[in-house]
Amino acid sequence: MKIFKDKKIFSSNIGRTIISLLMGFFIGALILAVAGYNPLEAYKVMFLGVFNKPKYIVQTIINSTPIIFTGISIAFAYKTGLFNIGAEGQFIIGSITAAILGYLLHLPHLIHVFLIIVVAGLAAGIWGGIAGFLKAKFDINEVITTIMLNWVAFYSLNYIVQLDSLKKPNAEATYDIQQSASIIVLEVWKKSKEGINWLNEHLFFKDIFKTRMNWGILIAILIAVIASYIIRKTVLGYELRSVGHNRQAAEYGGINVSKSLVSSMMIAGGIAGIAGAIQVMGISHRISTLSVMEGYGFNGIAVGLIAGGSPIGCIFAGLLFSALNYGGGKVQYILGAPTEIIDIMVGVILLFVAVPKLIALFPRLAIIFSFTKGKMGGEDNVD
Amino acid sequence: MLTNIGFIIGIALMYAAPLMFTAMGGVISEKSGVINIGLEGMMYLGAFIGAAVGYYSGNPWIAFLAAGFASGLLGLLHAVASVSFAGNQTISGFAINFIGPGIALFLSRLMFNGATMTKPIPMEGKMPKPFNGILRSLSLENTFAAQVLNQYATVYLAFILIFIVWFIFYKTRFGLRIRAVGEHPRAADTLGINVFALRYICVTLSGVFAGFGGASMSLAVVSLFSPTLISGQGYIALAAMIFGNWRPRGIMWGCLLFGAAEGLAVYMGGRTNVVVPTQVLSMLPYIITLLVLVLFIRKSNAPAADGVPYEKSSSNLI
């Protein structure tokens, strides 16, 4: 019980996050038990579903890539006091850009990829910047503009997919991007004769190469480091944080608040846009008609919030979120327990992230708990 | 021509009603000083409970109330986090947007053999159209009047709720207190108003109203619940609230604007030879909203203490 007596655990960010996670698992277990499923078995299935095979681990990492990006996007805007609900739309703009440029341009491999990342980031940056501009110029709440822009982006994608010059016949999708725009690891080689032969001899690699393993995660980590650096070490970051902390004071201190709002939303939009481009270049290779929003932006909000607004934290929060969803999907398949338990768990985790004061109360609860336990059996002296 | 306009207005009213309920939920919470970004999750749960109870009970009114009750519980949860524990209201609200759909789909799978969609509600379980009989007996079917007036009961209730909320805010002492708490909780506290209790009531009510909004989607607009039924309507209700500048009448117009654009899209998509791509039509409500915001910009009327947790003294909890 020593851990409960160490109050620091309950006041540090990481400590609070860990307790929130534990509460998510605890309440998830309660709900599963009430619904008649064995929670331990369910968590075992989830754990094995993520770690049992190298392929699963790789898939979890692949799935985490877009939400790490959108998480960073939300975290970045959050530092300026802006709530970027628009990562979903910015992601879509990035993916549209990548699908068009990836198909129409014919360029050498690395140049093609680099150009797409830059242009997709710019396009989505401008898209996000609209919300920042409207906030700075007309004081229109960014929550409403980003929600509207999400839908405009959504329907734009559905419109663009239908264009004759891009639409693949008999498909609700565009033509695939050129090979030179793909960022799947060794994509050509693994389908070649020698690749197939080599992989047949190395089953470990054969297993993981079955996935669409791509370079996106490395770019995501790079972006997280850059975003973290901008926020913490640069003048721009200082200005953004000041505006987020107290807009009036920042203005008084000579910071151009309007410019900060626009640049913050542009950067946030750009990051979400790169995520969309990475998803097209690394996974889908095309864009398809959407019937509902895919949720990268919304899940990114959860990731950014669980990470407490830290871009580096987004890497871990994104991996965790992805693992929960990937492992959680197997709970349904194997045990028949509804996978939606994962959404409830994520919600509970967020709920506890929202209430640091409640978590600060935990030591007291633990003391009361250990006190009653001590009276009953005295086994609490173990520590 | 007139019947076509009637058709558009009819569709507009039908689609606006769920937004009106939910946006009233948003405004009553925010007027008391608590941001409620969880409207989407509350609406989602309400839509499911409405459809599920409607299917099993066959009584739309029991279903409607059950939906309000279930989402009210989510409102209560948001109140506990944001009022009692002075939590971050944005994060707490967003948590509801995971919990609401999570519970709805979880329950759906348990109750409907693993499906995330409820079975269709039988005809008698669906929301009635109160004027249907009268209009038919006057043989006014397919006329302008019928297109506009022959609405589900929820449509009329939505307008009544807007009136009630307006009346409470501006004509009663209770409403004055809500506004005081949302503008300056400390001053209100000094005057003997129980800030916590009032916020609890308002945030819980916001859940109830959002639940009604969801149920008026699943019991009236369509007659079942599916995972994509709500998809973003709660956020649009939130946008309508901001659009309407936190005033019931403005919010009503915001919801009607969305409904009208929806009606126009349905009309142009199905009844004319206009070759405007449906995707572009679907974009209209959102673009119009942005334009209206830019062109008719007024000073924002958000409650001053919106989003700021109130703490009696710094040591009341720890």
Predicted confidence band at B283 (pLDDT cuts at 50, 70, 90)? confident
The SS3 call for residue B1 is coil
For residue A379, is pLDDT > 80? no
Whether residues B106 and A139 touch (CB distance < 8 A) is answered with no
Residues of A in contact with B101 (CB under 8 A): 340, 343
The distance from CA A147 to its chain's CA centroid, rounded to whole angstroms, is: 18
At residue B145, the pLDDT reads 76
At residue B271, the pLDDT reads 62
Residues of B in contact with A162 (CB under 8 A): 277, 279
Q: Copy the structure tokens of residue A298.
A: 């919304």
Mean per-residue pLDDT of chain A: 88
Looking at the complex, does the CB of residue B112 fall below 8 Å from at least one CB of chain A? no
Among candidate residues A73, A135, A85, the one with its CA nearest the CA of residue B297: A135
Instruction: Give the model confidence (pLDDT) of A276-293 as tens digits.
Output: 999 999 999 999 999 888
Burial B150-162 (b: 16+ CB within 10 A, else e): bbbbbbbbbeebb
Assess contact for B292 and A133: CB atoms under 8 A. Answer: no
Give how far A350 is from chain B: nearest CA, Å: 5
For residue A17, is pLDDT > 80? yes
Predicted confidence band at B307 (pLDDT cuts at 50, 70, 90)? confident
Chain A, nearest residue to B296 by Cα: A138
Instruction: Give the model confidence (pLDDT) of A123-155 as tens digits.
Output: 999 999 999 999 998 888 888 899 899 999 999
Taking residues A301-312, report their average pLDDT.
Answer: 92
**Residue tagged 């005057």 (tokens):** B191
* Vertex A273 angle, CA A72 and A314, to 5°: 15
Q: Copy the structure tokens of residue B37.
A: 């970004």
Amino acid identity at A227? A
Quote the CA–CA distance of B37 and A91 in Å, as a whole number. Answer: 21
Residues of B in contact with A145 (CB under 8 A): 290, 293
Residues of B in contact with A302 (CB under 8 A): 94, 98
Q: Copy the structure tokens of residue B258.
A: 């969305």
Whether residues A340 and B86 touch (CB distance < 8 A) is answered with no
Give how far A68 is from chain B: nearest CA, Å: 18
Among candidate residues A121, A60, A73, the one with its CA nearest the CA of residue A297: A73
> Looking at the partner chain, which of B91, B99, B243 has a beta carbon nearest the beta carbon of A305?
B91
The answer as to CATH 3.30.450 being correct for domain B1-296 is no
CA atoms within 13 A on the CB side of A138: 18
Mean per-residue pLDDT of chain B: 88
> Looking at the partner chain, which of B92, B98, B297 has a beta carbon nearest the beta carbon of A138?
B297
Instruction: Give the model confidence (pLDDT) of B156-166 as tens digits.
Output: 999 999 999 99
Quote the CA–CA distance of A45 and A59 in Å, as a whole number. Answer: 16
The distance from CA A4 to its chain's CA centroid, rounded to whole angstroms, is: 31
Taking residues A328-356, report their average pLDDT.
Answer: 92
A42 to A319, A360, B110, B114: CA distances (angstroms): 19, 30, 16, 17
Q: Copy the structure tokens of residue A34.
A: 């009430």
Assess contact for B100 and B67: CB atoms under 8 A. Answer: no
Among candidate residues A46, A131, A105, the one with its CA nearest the CA of residue A330: A46
Looking at the complex, does the CB of residue B270 fall below 8 Å from at least one CB of chain A? no
Quote the CA–CA distance of B200 and B229 in Å, as a whole number. Answer: 29
Quote the CA–CA distance of A68 and A91 in Å, as a whole number. Answer: 12
| Ramachandran quadrant class, A192 (left: phi over 0; alpha: psi -120 to 50; beta: rest) | beta
Question: Domain locations in chain B?
Answer: 1-296
The distance from CA B312 to its chain's CA centroid, rounded to whole angstroms, is: 31
At residue A376, the pLDDT reads 47
Quote the CA–CA distance of A278 and A120 in Å, as a whole number. Answer: 10
Least confident window among A287-301, B75-89, B125-139: B125-139
> Which helix (H) or strand (E) is B36 found in, with range?
none
Taking residues B225-253, report their average pLDDT.
Answer: 90
Looking at the complex, does the CB of residue B233 fall below 8 Å from at least one CB of chain A? no
Percent of chain B scored above 70 by pLDDT?
Answer: 93
Amino acid identity at A110? L
At residue A373, the pLDDT reads 57
* Vertex A150 angle, CA A146 and A155, to 5°: 150
Instruction: Give the model confidence (pLDDT) of A214-259 as tens digits.
Output: 899 999 999 999 999 999 899 988 988 888 888 888 888 888 889 9
Looking at the complex, does the CB of residue A358 fall below 8 Å from at least one CB of chain B? yes
Quote the CA–CA distance of A141 and B243 in Å, as a whole number. Answer: 9
Q: Copy the structure tokens of residue A245.
A: 């902390």
Assess contact for A283 and A63: CB atoms under 8 A. Answer: no
Quote the CA–CA distance of A151 and A127 in Å, as a whole number. Answer: 12
Percent of chain A scored above 70 by pLDDT?
Answer: 92
At residue A114, the pLDDT reads 95
Quote the CA–CA distance of A234 and A238 in Å, as a whole number. Answer: 6
Quote the CA–CA distance of B104 and B70 in Å, as a whole number. Answer: 10
Cα four-point dihedral sign B150, B154, B158, B164: positive
Q: Where are the alpha helices (DSSP H) in B127-194?
A: 132-137, 144-149, 153-171, 173-183, 185-190
Whether residues B98 and A305 touch (CB distance < 8 A) is answered with no
At residue B137, the pLDDT reads 75
The SS3 call for residue A182 is coil
**Residue tagged 């209206």 (tokens):** B292
> Looking at the partner chain, which of A145, A305, A342 has a beta carbon nearest the beta carbon of B290?
A145
Question: Domain locations in chain A?
Answer: 38-336
Predicted confidence band at A71 (pLDDT cuts at 50, 70, 90)? very high
Whether residues A348 and B82 touch (CB distance < 8 A) is answered with no
Q: Which residues contact B55 (CB under 8 A, 6 or more apart)?
A: B118, B119, B120, B121, B122, B125, B224
Note the pTM of the prediction, 2 decimals. Answer: 0.90
Burial A338-357 (b: 16+ CB within 10 A, else e): bbbbbbbbbbbbbbbbbbbb
Looking at the complex, does the CB of residue B239 fall below 8 Å from at least one CB of chain A? yes
At residue B318, the pLDDT reads 37
Looking at the complex, does the CB of residue B154 fall below 8 Å from at least one CB of chain A? no
Predicted confidence band at A7 (pLDDT cuts at 50, 70, 90)? low
* Vertex A33 angle, CA A27 and A38, to 5°: 115
Quote the CA–CA distance of A129 and A137 in Å, as a whole number. Answer: 12
Quote the CA–CA distance of B218 and B214 in Å, as a whole number. Answer: 7
* CA dihedral angle for residue A157, residue A161, residue A163, residue A167, rounded to 10 degrees: 160
Give how far A222 is from chain B: nearest CA, Å: 27
